[in-house]
Amino acid sequence: MAKTWEPGQPGVLSLPSGRLIRGRGLLAPFPSGPRPEFGLYLLGSRPRPTEWDSRWVRWRDLHVPADDADALDAFREAWRRAETERVEVACWAGRGRTGTALACIAVLDGVPPAEAVAFVRRNYRRSAVETPWQRRYVTRFRGADP
């Protein structure tokens, strides 16, 4: 049986396929409720270990990922795991890097790249995807065959 998030929980993005992924900021208090089973952490330096499976993508604040191939692989892993697991994507504030990653994951789920930023802003957080280069990264993102 799938152990995913509940729709409508704070920070939970519902993708067109029905997969649910929670975005959050690590600076905020840890949300109440169930723990994630997999976390994708988008930070400039390695995060602290977690009690659940996790993956780190090197990604400086207000920038794009340091390694496109690693980021694509991480986005694909988060998308696949979200079908049956509680997956969270997080950076410090939960806006720029998290929003950019969620938009790329939405592209993997079938949202056209040109519409992915608006999709995430409408369904996750209005301030998601903070910089022009993050927006450009999403509109140029091609996930091809998840």
Per the domain annotation, does 9 fall within a domain?
A: no
**Count of Cβ atoms closer than 10 Å to residue 25 Cβ:** 16
- Tens of pLDDT, residue by residue over 60-106, are 999 999 999 999 999 999 999 999 999 999 999 999 999 999 999 99
Where does the pLDDT of residue 144 fall: very low under 50, low under 70, confident under 90, or very high at 90 and above? low
Distance between CA atoms of residues 28 and 146, nearest Å: 31
**What is the domain range of residue 90?**
14-140
Distance between CA atoms of residues 138 and 97, nearest Å: 11
Q: Which two three-digit tokens encode residue 120?
A: 């995430």
**H helices present in 5-112, as ranges:** 68-81, 96-108
Per the domain annotation, does 1 fall within a domain?
A: no
CATH number for the domain that contains residue 22: 3.90.190.10
Residue 143 has pLDDT above 80, yes or no: no
Per the domain annotation, does 131 fall within a domain?
A: yes
Give pTM, 2 decimals.
0.96
Residue 1 has pLDDT above 70, yes or no: no
Residue 97 · residue 42 · CB < 8 Å: yes
* Across 42-59, average pLDDT: 97
Could you tell me whether strands 38-43 and 87-91 are parallel, antiparallel, or unpaired per DSSP bridges? parallel
Where does the pLDDT of residue 2 fall: very low under 50, low under 70, confident under 90, or very high at 90 and above? low
* Across 105-132, average pLDDT: 97
Per the domain annotation, does 3 fall within a domain?
A: no
Q: Which of 1-10, 18-27, 52-61 has the lowest mean pLDDT?
A: 1-10
Domain count, the chain: 1
